[in-house]
Structure 1
Amino acid sequence: MIVLIPAILSVLAMGFDYHRLSEDAAYQREQKRFSMIRETCTTLVFILFLLFGGFSLSARISHDLSYTIGGGELVQGVFFALILVFLERLLALPFALYATFSIEARYGFNKTSPKTFFADEVKGFFLLCLIGLPIFLLIYAFYDHFGPSGWLLAWIGYTLFSLLLSIIAPTVILPLFNRFTPLANESLKTRISGIAEQAGIKVKRVEVIDGSRRSTKANAYVAGFGSSKRVALYDTFIDKHSEEEIVAVLAHEFGHIAKKHVVKQFISQTILSAPIFYLLFWAVASPILPEAVGFPSTEIYTAHAVALIVLVIVMGFLSAFFAPLFLLFSRKREREADLFAAKLMGTGDELVSALLSLEKQNGGHPDPHPLSVFLHYSHPPTRQRVALLKSFSP
């Protein structure tokens, strides 16, 4: 049960956040209350699923399905993975429905229609299977052929697959959910190209995302690898911010590229995944695992393919222990990008204005608890970012 410690701390942190909010911050208070309920329910369901043999029952069903179609251990593992993914999405569905059509709608943020919502859910499920199953098949193939010593080749294969996914995601995956159109505002496009050139970055295209089809919340990002970059602006971001604020936010994004933050993050995650793969491959053959998750060790459906899936789930929980370290470095990179933007713009005033406006537009927490920042925040709280930018002098 040590793997549940991060979830317990997470609920406590959200409780601290809740009590730091004033009575007039109704949206943030409801969001925190809802998040605590969702996290608690999800954790309890996992415990009950574990204690009452949910893994064992799912493995038995996957074994029977595999046997019915004449499949072997690998097919059983695929069925097992699909069952668990389906159950996870089914559990998350009522929470997503309430968050979208009750909380977000009540406070004027939601623009998602039921048709779009369920289309996104179906796309998300199939996309998860489309990405997850090849990774599983790759890991299983190396274990099946090389045993525990195959971890290195599996790790290399996983790294290359992740890199490929990062490259194609902006042009292949994201358009499945949003429509991208060229930015029509020539003045803004010229200013964006100019600030990118100052940062030493070549921008291939500037596009607008139809974010207003789902929410009034705003965002902007720069995607792509190599010398050509793709700037994407939510239409809600363009509509409610001045050109100066938009350029300042993109200067921050260009700071991540100039400081090679994306590359550094990919390298650090790749390095951390190496010992995870090593432990994964050596733990699969252990007789301890089946009994730990409720499998009688003599049953035929405790195959290596099934053990791999269970181990990936367990290691997903264990990775939560390392998450605060990655978040710490992420907040450091965000501060570096803020200062880069201020230097590029000659002042931090426009970025300060944009950050304060975005916090209000997106319903952000004005003063999160330090424990919540430590556990959840990839960006420093807005107040800290504003204070840093106001202290900047060219």
Structure 2
Amino acid sequence: MIRKWAMRAIIAYLLFGLAIFLYLFYLADTSIPEALKGTNADPATFLNGRELELSEEYSRIRNLMFFLATPYEWLFYYLLLIFGVSALFERSAKHISKFFIARTAIYLFWLSLASFVVMFPLSYLSYTISKSYNISTQIFPAWMKDKVIDFWVQYATMLIIITVLYALMRKYKRRWWLAAWVVSVPFSIFMMFIQPVVIDPLYNDFYPLKDKHLEAKILAIAKEADIPAEHVYEVDMSTKTNSLNAYVTGVGSNSRIVLWDTTLERLSDEEILFIMAHEMGHYVEKHIYKGIAGYLLLTFVGLWLTAKLMEKWISRRGKEWKVEKVTNISSLPAFLLITSILLFLASPLSNWVSRYQEMRADTYAIKMTQDKEAGIQTFQSLTKAGLSQVNPPILVKIFRYGHPTMLERIKMIQEYQLNIPKGEESFSEKNPPNF
């Protein structure tokens, strides 16, 4: 029976992969609407023929990798359960130590190591593809170093989460999901607080922006938006990627405005100011707090559903898997499998909300800078640097895109009507590049 269920799961995964491959490479429509051909939103106007071909190829491959990776992880967790591997990890931990925390740490190490090994081929394939398309510039030893750091950061974080989670399961039995949700609130805020100053520096070097003229202009628009920022940081990303990015991270006194050095090297001051105005739009519209509220709501519903589904699943299949009850640490793959599926199912909604907020931030950036040309050039540059599809397939947009498509963003800027009173000029004109 176990082999039968395992074979069914593997066949289902392979059929899903085949269906996604056919959709992305043969059925999906990524053409530009006739009305937008020849406009700034048409990639043929800012990409050459080779770049157009590469962007389509690379995007299809990346999208395929995305849709294959998530159910591959589900398959891994499922096979761990039905073949009794998870129960074996738990027995190993019990033989080594009688203390709950130590047993949890040992079990989680074996599970994390197995996950790392099983998922490594997909990670390495993604890395080599990115290298072959000249997106990644990272040498293998440096990439491997990041993977090892990532392993230990995730292990340490998960050890805290799982230890607390299973302690709550044992104490509260039926209402553990509610207790876990209550504990998750301060923990999530704490993680957001320490992310910029503890975790991020493990991967990259951050330092104050060297271009003080540009920093002054960024801080000027931050002041105009009533954002309490004193410094702008740049991060050395050119040793890892040719992509461009900038962001605002953290909360409270640990918040940071960060620019990738690739962005500084390849974009003009006006384009950078547009990106910064976009990021500040998120602050002004309180998207971070709305995001936290939405996350907590989804977590509440998700934990409740997970508790119900785990209880039913373990009660029916637990004996076959050698998992006696939900409170056994060997039930963890079931928890991770269910939560991962629920997150995937919720992604269309969360992505839709994110796209709406991103479009609001784009609108704020135009109002702030009054510079449509810089906005259009920014998104064209981002498309070119990342070999992104301007108009991705609908399923890709729904399940993968937390930002509007480049087609939507450029089209919105093109159609936006600037309202500049006579005698007033744009922010970039009031603050020219050299002052």
Give yes or no for TM over 0.5.
yes
Following superposition of structure 1 onto structure 2, how do residues 31-180 of structure 1 map, counting pairs within 5 Å? 31-33=59-61, 35-36=63-64, 39-40=67-68, 43=71, 46-47=74-75, 50=78, 55-71=82-98, 75-100=102-127, 102-180=128-206
Shift of the 356–57 alpha-carbon distance from structure 1 to 2, 3 Å rule, reads same
Matching residue of 1:338: 362
Give the fraction of aligned pairs with identical amino acids, expressed as a percent.
Answer: 22
How far is the alpha carbon of 1:104 from its aligned partner?
A: 2.4
Shift of 1:90: 1.7
Alignment of 1:354-373 (within 5 A): 354-373=378-397
The correspondence for 1:246, drawn from 260, 267, 272, is 272
After superposition, give the CA deviation of every residue in 1:269-311 in whole Å (9 maximum; x if it has no partner). 101111222333455554x32644x752766587532224422
Q: Who is 1:184 aligned against?
A: 210
CA distance in 1, matches of 2:77, 2:251: 42
1:280 corresponds to:
306
Q: Which amino acid aligns with 1:36?
A: L
Instruction: For 1:150 and 1:301, locate their aligned partners in 2 and report how far apart those are by CA, in whole Å.
Output: 14
Q: Of residues 19, 22, 25 in structure 1, which corresponds to 2:53? A: 25
Query: Which shows bigger deviation, 10-19 or 238-247?
Result: 10-19
* Structure 1 residue aligned with 2:330: 306
Deviation at residue 224 of structure 1 after TM alignment: 2.7
Looking at structure 1, the residues matched to 379 and 263 of structure 2 have their Cα atoms a distance apart, in angstroms, of 12
Q: Deviations over 1:244-263 (max 9, x none)?
A: 00000110000001001111
Q: Which amino acid counterpart does residue 334 of structure 2 have in structure 1?
A: V
Q: Matched residues in 2 for 1:92 and 1:285: separation? A: 28
CA contact (8 A) 2:206 2:236 kept: yes
Distance 1:13 1:123, change over 3 A: farther
Measured against aligned partners, the alpha-carbon deviations of 1:214-273 in whole angstroms (never above 9, x if no partner) come to: 111111011232377421111100000100000001100000010011110110110111
Give the Å deviation of 1:11.
5.6
Alpha carbons of 1:298 and 1:169: their partners in 2 closer, same or farther (altered >3 Å)? closer
Which stretch shifts more, 26-35 or 343-352? 26-35
Inter-partner Cα distance in structure 1 for 2:69 and 2:304: 32
Whether the 8 Å contact between 1:105 and 1:111 is mirrored in structure 2 is: yes
For 1:74-100, what per-residue CA distance to the aligned partner results, in whole angstroms no more than 9, with x for missing partners? 655544433333222222322322332
Report the counterpart of residue 45 of structure 2 in structure 1.
none
Residues 324 and 374, structure 1, Cα contact 8 Å, conserved in 2: yes
Which one is further off, 377-386 or 342-351?
Answer: 342-351
Partner of 1:352: 376
Look up the SS of the partner of 2:279 in the other structure: helix
- The 10-residue stretch of structure 1 (110-119 or 63-72) with the greater mean CA deviation from structure 2: 63-72
Q: Distance in 2 between matches of 1:227 and 1:34?
A: 36
Q: Any residues of structure 2 matched to 1:319-334 within 5 Å, and which?
A: 319-334=343-358
Query: Judging changes above 3 Å, is the alpha-carbon distance between structure 1 residues 299 and 116 closer, same or farther for their aligned structure 2 residues?
Result: closer
Quick one: distance in 2 between partners of 1:362 and 1:71? 51
The amino acid of 1:68's aligned partner reads: H
Q: How many residues align?
A: 388
Q: 1:32 to 1:84 in 2, by over 3 A?
A: farther
What is the rounded CA distance, in whole Å, between the counterparts of 1:46 and 1:274 in structure 2?
22
Alignment check: 8 A CA contact 1:10 1:372 kept: no
The CA deviation at 1:161 is 0.5
> Taking structure 1 as reference, are residues 91 and 265 closer, same or farther at Cα in structure 2, changes over 3 Å only?
same
Change (3 A) 1:111 1:74: same
Q: Distance in 2 between matches of 1:38 and 1:384?
A: 22
Distance (whole Å) between structure 1 residues aligned to residue 359 and residue 322 of structure 2: 54
Deviation at 1:28, TM superposition (A): 3.5
Q: In 1, Cα distance between the equivalents of 2:314 and 2:54?
A: 45
Residue 367 of structure 1, CA deviation: 1.7
Gaps of 5+ in 2: 1-8, 32-48, 420-435
C-alpha distance 80-284 of structure 1, shift in aligned 2 (>3 A): farther
**Cα–Cα, structure 1 residues 297 and 365, in superposed 2: closer, same or farther, change >3 Å?**
closer
* 1:140 Cα offset (Å): 1.2
1:153 partner SS: helix
* RMSD (Å), alpha carbons: 3.0
> Is contact 1:11-1:36 (8 Å) kept?
yes
Q: TM-score, normalised by structure 2?
A: 0.80
Q: Call closer, same or farther: CA 1:299–1:12 in 2, change over 3 Å.
A: same
Q: Within 2, Cα distance between the matches of 1:151 and 1:45?
A: 23
Using the alignment, how far apart are the partners of 2:69 and 2:220 within structure 1?
50
Aligned to 1:230: 256
SS of the equivalent of 2:295 reads helix
Partner of 1:221: 247
Secondary structure at the counterpart of residue 203 of structure 1? coil
Structure 1 gap ranges (5+): none
- 1:135-189 per-residue CA deviation (whole Å, 9 max, x = no partner) reads 1111111121121123322211112111100111011110000001111111101
Counterpart Cα distance in 2 of 1:244 and 1:125? 39
The equivalent of 1:380 in structure 2 is 404
